[in-house]
Amino acid sequence: QVQLIESGGGLVQAGGSLRLSCAASGRTFSSSTMGWFRQAPGKEREFVAAIRSGAIARYTDSVKGRFTISRDNAKNTVYLQMNSLKPEDTAVYYCVAQKRTTGESGLRDFNGYIYWGQGTQVTVSS
């Protein structure tokens, strides 16, 4: 059974940092795209970042220059380093893995992934 377990969320003041981790089990994702989405209260779930098997990273514009996605294939884990956090970054963050399609197609679509975690809460206070 495949599981994606997120950790590292919490409460932080604006301008602070958090590092999210997503540990995968049940299969290896070293050749798959992994990523992060988030959903704020009353809003639709949105793409945050993704990293392809060749370590090619993609970000939504609002987090470019502040967030960094990385992966450790030996640990079957993907990370999201979040710096200069803003109150508008407050959301539940979800880890995803393995796109249904190849290349860039579906990379920014939550339903384009086969596996996802239960989410971890990130709250940024002003």
**40-73: pLDDT as tens digits:** 999 999 999 999 988 899 999 999 999 999 999 9
CA 120, 121, 126: angle at the middle one, nearest 5? 150
The maximal CA–CA distance of the chain, rounded, in angstroms, is 40
pLDDT of res. 102: 86
Residues with Cβ within 8 Å of 13's Cβ and at least 6 positions away in sequence, in order, are 124, 125
For residue range 64-122, what is the model confidence (pLDDT) as tens digits?
999 999 999 999 999 999 999 999 999 999 999 999 988 888 899 999 999 999 999 99
